[in-house]
Structure 1
Amino acid sequence: MTKFLPDHLLNGYRAFVDKRLPQERQRMRQLAEAGQSPKTMVIACCDSRAAPETIFDAAPGEIFVVRNVANLVPPYSPDGEFHSTSAALEFALHALKVEHVVVLGHGGCGGIHAALSPAAEPLSPGDFIGKWMSLLDPVARAVGANDHMTANERQAALERISIRHSIANLRTFPAVEQLEGEGALSLHGAWVDIRSGELWAMNPETGDFSRVLGDAA
């Protein structure tokens, strides 16, 4: 086998070819010929421990995923800057015509930790992560200033607040506002505990999170 990739990736690919590809081959051929038509877009963190395809046991073509640091959605701002998440959202809405957009956060998020500790090494306000996480500045300052909470409580609180913040930013996009108003699009928030595997979903009316499977998770 040609070794232009790390061994663990080559071994993983060999396992994919031996075990999963035979089961997915026909589906992948159909997707290649007919194109993708997922009904759901997931905006997730790029953290390697929180892969949406694994969490939702998704097959190829089932969910359209965009991942960034801390699963943030910027507000609508067509200002000539580069907006990867906004571009993916635009494609999902207009080309794929997804019916659901899920903002998926997770426990122990490094980006959220950076937002709560913007001066911590090796981050600084001038680097990429610092600028990206500045999208959360107002809520991060409010949570960080709460001395009645422990550091872990502030972390968990901001992880969930940031999901609500991103959903609010989604609604600044004219297409989202229109489609949601027509009943053609639903917005969802979710948070996964990477230690236990528990998935929590956001109540769209109250903003509260509850376990999807209750005590059975």
Structure 2
Amino acid sequence: MTIAKPLPSYLVNRYHGWRATTYAENKSWHRRLAEDGQRPRFMVIACCDSRVDIPAVLGATTGDIFLHRNIANLIPPFEPDGEKHGTSAAIEYAVNFLKVAHIIIVAHSDCGGVKGCHDMCAGDAPEFEQKTSFIGRWLDILRPGYERVSTVEDRGARLTALEQQSVIVSLENLAKFPFVEKAMAEETLTLHGMWFDIGEGRLESYDSEMDSFYPV
């Protein structure tokens, strides 16, 4: 069996177009990044959703953002138990080695991962309850958030509230990582939470003192 095949021709053509334009116009910057290494000021943890282009939304250029994506932009609890933790490893690298000044968690509207968590916790997605479901076990991280919003009567409002809980639960978990807690205490790192409305192009920021999101 052939494990990997050549890229589709349309992707190859897109690459050549990028190299002939964007790269050619910024060649010296790319070479400087290659020689000097990366020094991003921000780490962004976002959902895998293809509709959420965070670098574009934040006006970022190459080298600005250390970007990590996962299902529903979740951060697991600090549990160094020998298991493989891609998200936790990315956070450790960003804080301890890249010395980023900000970590921003970005959730979004119409999130399939959040909807999956909602349906699983409501008993409507038994496939995610299986121990063999990678998705289900990952979405267990958001169960505390579901419990907080489960009494919201309107389903649409409940899903939006759970999307925003994905930010809040993740911030709560992130703040308990010892090296994150230390950097925050030394005032070298600040944490932020955002929710992005795909259809409206609206970005909202989380205020932990008010426990609410507001338009930026």
TM over 0.5: same fold?
Answer: yes
Query: Which secondary structure does the structure 2 equivalent of 1:117 belong to?
Result: helix
The one of 69, 73, 92 aligned to 1:67: 69
Within 5 Å, give how 1:93-104 maps onto structure 2. 93-104=95-106
Q: TM-score, normalised by structure 1?
A: 0.90
Unmatched tracts of structure 1, length 5 or more: 213-217
Q: Give a deviation string over 1:128-172, Cα, whole Å, max 9, x none.
A: 10000001112213423x2x5221111100111120110010111
1:125 maps to a residue whose letter is Q
The answer to whether the 8 A contact 2:144-2:169 is kept is no
SS in 2 for 1:196: coil
Query: CA separation in 2, counterparts of 1:204 and 1:12?
Result: 42
Output the amino acid matched with 1:45. C
Name which of structure 1's ranges 15-24 and 126-135 shifts more when overlaid on structure 2: 15-24
- Report the Cα distance in structure 1 between the residues aligned to 2:196 and 2:214, rounded to whole angstroms: 11
Distance 1:11 1:122, change over 3 A: farther
Q: CA RMSD in A?
A: 1.6
Say if 2:125 is the partner of 1:120. yes
- In the alignment, which residue of structure 2 is the partner of 1:171? 175
**Aligned position for 2:93:** 91
2:142 aligned with 1:136: yes
Percent sequence identity is 41
Q: Is the 8 A contact 2:42 2:100 kept in 1?
A: yes
Q: Does 1:209 align with 2:213?
A: yes
Q: Which moved more, 1:46-55 or 1:84-93?
A: 46-55
The letter of the residue matching 1:132 is W
**Aligned AA (1:159):** E
Distance (Å, rounded) in 1 between the aligned partners of 2:201 and 2:118: 24
Letter in 2 for 1:53: P
Displacement, 1:20?
Answer: 1.1
Q: Aligned pair count?
A: 208
Task: For structure 2, list consecutive stretches of 5 or more residues without a partner in the other structure.
Answer: none
For residue 179 of structure 1, what is the amino acid of its counterpart? Answer: A
Q: What residue is the counterpart of 1:17 in the other structure? A: 19
| CA distance, structure 2, for counterparts of residue 142 and residue 207 of structure 1 | 13
